[in-house]
């Protein structure tokens, strides 16, 4: 499968403090004060990373990021405003909203404008290029089947002081984003024992290291592993989302040219949410004929099949702009 072209996935529960996670500001989020100060001084604003408010949103800024990751990043060249506006128009975004999205993405520090006469073209900033590259790696590795499970579980017990609602929310969002499930208050589990390093970083960052304990090992004889999975993760809701993805893209066969470019963009845009929704449980813990595997197979097949024509039409669009 080609790894050229992708964008960062995002989710409402993604952590706010790590550029490598691929979170970008919600279009309605308040501007970062430091970024405003930098712009006033004429300096490059520092990227401000925030949580997405709605993982299912199809907003102009999020579609712009999909286009930047899928086409601008692998091309390695700046792109004219008119090309981006035209691509977004094909996805139903009005010109005013497209231009506002460009301005906001620039304010976040992910793209940089270069004026040539009366025209403007856009470069990916180094933080933007790094973010999109990380997103490409995550989205495509997510589409691959999981490795064979070693049978070990990681359990993390964290006691959050009473009344610390915001701290509890931060713990929940970061642990959930890392793929942990919570079968009971204060208890987090993962069938990936290697996530202990990440869990340790989370509780340390939140000042909860002294209130946390971790254990790794095989499941014992009380209860059942599938019951634990049902208590820790909402696979029913995830199944519904995968089914919607399959319903939308199964049998899709766009015409060459712009229809293929738009179909590819929508495909990646819809798929990129799943790395934040699916904990990537091993096959031994999933329902038989898990729908997520079918969805991943479809994504890989369609993306590979449409890749060449979508990239060709993007080059044509970008050169004509």
Q: Which CATH architecture fits 152-218?
A: 2-Layer Sandwich (3.30)
pLDDT tens profile 265-310 = 999 999 999 988 999 999 999 999 999 999 999 999 999 999 999 9
pLDDT at 43 over 90: no
pLDDT tens profile 100-113 = 999 999 999 999 99
- Mean per-residue pLDDT, 229-243: 96
pTM here is 0.77
- Mean per-residue pLDDT, 163-183: 94
pLDDT at 13 over 70: no
State the pLDDT confidence band at 140, using cuts at 50, 70 and 90.
confident
Window from 135-149, 217-231, 240-254 with minimum mean pLDDT: 135-149
Q: What is the pLDDT of residue 204?
A: 97
State the pLDDT confidence band at 47, using cuts at 50, 70 and 90.
very low
Q: What is the pLDDT of residue 208?
A: 97
**Degrees, nearest 5: CA angle 30-35-37:** 110
Phi, psi dihedrals of residue 233, rounded to the nearest 5°: -135, 145
**Higher-pLDDT residue of 282, 48:** 282
State the pLDDT confidence band at 137, using cuts at 50, 70 and 90.
confident
CB atoms within 10 A of CB 122: 23
- Contact present, 64 and 105 (Cβ < 8 Å): yes
Q: What is the pLDDT of residue 180?
A: 97
Residue 153 β-bridge partners: 217
Q: Quote the tokens at residue 77.
A: 């060249």
- What is the 3-class SS of the chain, one letter each residue? CCCCCCCCCCCCCCCCCCHHHCCCCCCCCCCCHHHHHHHHCCCCCCCCCCCCCCCCCCCHHHHHHHHHHHHHHHHCCCEEHHHHHHHHHHCCCCHHHHHHHHHHHHHCCCEEEEEECCEEEEEECHHHHHHHHHHHHHHHHHCCCCCCCCCEEEEEEECCCCCCHHHHHHHHHHHHHCCCEEEECCEEEECCHHHHHHHHHHHHHCCCHHHEEEEEEECCCCCCHHHHHHHHCCHHHHHHHHHHHHHHHCCCCCCCCHHHHHHHHHHHHHHCCHHHHCCCCCHHHCCCCCHHHHHHHHHHHHHHHHHHHHHHHHHHHHHHC
* C-alpha span between 292 and 271 (Å, rounded): 11
Q: Quote the tokens at residue 209.
A: 């290291």
pLDDT at 15 over 90: no
pLDDT at 20 over 60: no
Kindly report the average pLDDT of the chain as a whole number. Answer: 85
Strands 187-190 and 152-158: antiparallel
State the pLDDT confidence band at 57, using cuts at 50, 70 and 90.
low
> What is the layout of strands, in order, in the sheet containing 181-184?
181-184, 187-190, 152-158, 212-218
Q: What is the pLDDT of residue 19?
A: 34
Across 265-281, b (16+ Cβ under 10 Å) vs e yields bbbbbbbbbbbbbbbeb
Phi, psi dihedrals of residue 24, rounded to the nearest 5°: -130, 160
Measuring CA to CA, which residue among 276, 299, 281, 285 is closest to residue 146?
Answer: 281
pLDDT tens profile 215-231 = 999 999 899 999 999 99
**Higher-pLDDT residue of 151, 29:** 151
Domain residue ranges of the chain, discontinuous segments joined by +: 1-148+245-321, 152-218
């Amino acid at each position: 499968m080609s790894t050229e072209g992708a964008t960062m996935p995002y989710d409402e529960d993604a952590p706010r403090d790590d550029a490598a996670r691929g979170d970008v500001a919600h279009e309605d989020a308040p501007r970062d004060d430091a970024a405003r100060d930098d712009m006033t001084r004429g300096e490059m604003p520092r990227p401000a990373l925030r949580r997405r408010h709605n993982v299912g949103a199809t907003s102009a800024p999020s579609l712009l990021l999909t286009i930047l990751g899928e086409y601008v990043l692998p091309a390695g060249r700046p792109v004219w405003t008119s090309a981006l506006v035209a691509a977004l128009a094909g996805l139903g975004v009005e010109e005013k909203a497209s231009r506002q999205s460009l301005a906001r993405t620039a304010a976040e520090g992910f793209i940089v404008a270069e004026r040539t006469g009366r025209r403007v073209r856009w470069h990916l900033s180094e933080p933007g290029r790094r973010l999109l590259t990380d997103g490409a790696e995550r989205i495509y590795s997510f589409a691959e089947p999981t490795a064979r499970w070693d049978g070990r579980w990681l359990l993390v017990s964290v006691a959050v002081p009473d009344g610390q609602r915001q701290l509890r929310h931060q713990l929940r969002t970061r642990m959930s984003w890392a793929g942990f499930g919570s079968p009971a208050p204060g208890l987090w589990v993962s069938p990936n024992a290697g996530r202990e390093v990440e869990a340790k970083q989370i509780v340390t960052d939140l000042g909860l290291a002294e209130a946390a304990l971790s254990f790794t090992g095989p499941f014992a004889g009380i209860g059942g592993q599938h019951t634990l999975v049902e208590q820790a993760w909402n696979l029913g809701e995830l199944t519904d989302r995968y089914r919607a993805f399959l319903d939308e893209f199964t049998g899709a066969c766009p015409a060459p040219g712009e229809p293929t470019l738009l179909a590819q963009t929508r495909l990646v845009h819809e798929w990129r949410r799943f790395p934040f929704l699916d904990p990537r449980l091993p096959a031994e813990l999933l329902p038989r004929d898990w729908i997520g595997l079918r969805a991943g197979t479809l994504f890989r097949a369609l993306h590979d099949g449409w890749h060449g024509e979508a990239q060709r039409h993007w080059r044509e669009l970008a050169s004509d702009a």
